[in-house]
Amino acid sequence: SDLQKQEERGELLQPLIFVFLVLCSILLYFKVSLMDPGFVKPEEEEGEDKGQGVIPQIPGDVKLRRCGYCLVKQPMRARHCQLCQHCVRRYDHHCPWLENCVGERNHPLFIVYLSVQLVVLLWGGHVAWSGLYFEQSWEWLQHNIFLLVSFLLILIFTIVVLLLLVSHLYLISCNTTTWEFMSHHRISYLRHSELENPFDQGIILNLWRFFC
């Protein structure tokens, strides 16, 4: 049959890989959106600063404080999210698309999700573009309007995801978070530090500690 011939020629492999990537993207989305991003539990002690990379350059007069909202002892680099009603360790941002915070526990998976999503969008954009053949006629537009709109939407989402992924990788390589980058002047342990970024330990070590 035609299906068997296509399988023998390897023509079915690419669609299967594409479907697999789409399923991975969907599973990663639900995993990142439903998992604990690193909520600070009331029973945790302020000295348990797991994986925060706090180094001696932090001024000694900067003390860990109790959150004014949920009343837990707030570790270094944690922040209270009013939408989630929790303090989050190594808080990066609250993502409206995920309806969840991106923090210490789910930030690496968030980067993996963006990477897989980018591959899917680039692949889908290539497929949509390859199906287009341009003619200056109203009849052509009627027959190709859906494909054209799909390509434009994919292009917009690709640019958004690419910019988001690149910006996050840059911040990770500097060992800083979106919140710290945007609110540097309002954060006590950064405002009073002699260094611009006291957590930066070099690109390689920053990436290693984040992903590994």
Q: Would you say residue 51 has pLDDT above 90?
A: no
Q: Which amino acid appears at position 143 of this protein? A: H
Residue 20 has pLDDT above 70, yes or no: yes
Does residue 116 carry a pLDDT above 80? Answer: yes
The kind and range of the H/E element at 152 are helix 138-173
What residue segments make up the domains of the chain, in order of their start?
2-37+96-211
Least confident piece of the model among 33-37, 106-110, 115-119, 145-149 = 145-149
pLDDT score recorded for residue 11: 67
Residue corresponding to tokens 């009627």:
142
Active site includes 67? no
- What is the structure's pLDDT at 23? 97
Maximal C-alpha separation, the chain: 76
* pLDDT computed for residue 192 by the predictor: 78
Three-state DSSP at 86 gives: strand
Give 81: exposed, middle or buried? Use CB within 10 Å, 0-12, 13-18, 19+.
buried
Residue 161 has pLDDT above 60, yes or no: yes
pLDDT category of residue 30 using cuts at 50, 70 and 90: very high
Predicted confidence band at 4 (pLDDT cuts at 50, 70, 90)? low
Q: Which residues have a Cβ under 8 Å from the Cβ of 88 and sit 6 or more positions away? A: 37, 38, 39, 40, 78, 79, 80, 81, 101, 103, 104
Q: Which two tokens stand for residue 118?
A: 């980018």
d(CA 117, CA 120) in angstroms, rounded, equals 5
User: E strand or H helix at 79, and its extent?
Assistant: strand 79-81
Q: Select which of 84, 95, 101, 212 is catalytic.
A: 95
pLDDT at residue 49 greater than cutoff 50: no
Sign of CA pseudo-dihedral 68, 70, 73, 78 = negative
The pTM score is 0.82
Say how many residues make up the chain. Answer: 212
pLDDT at residue 10, rounded to an integer:
60
Q: Residue 93's beta-bridge partner residues? A: 102
Higher-scoring residue by pLDDT: 56, 38: 38
pLDDT of residue 143: 73
Q: What are phi and psi of 86, to 5 degrees?
A: -145, 155
Residues 50, 169, 110, 72: is their CA dihedral positive or negative?
Answer: positive
Q: Is the pLDDT of residue 103 over 80?
A: yes
Span 74-89, average pLDDT: 92
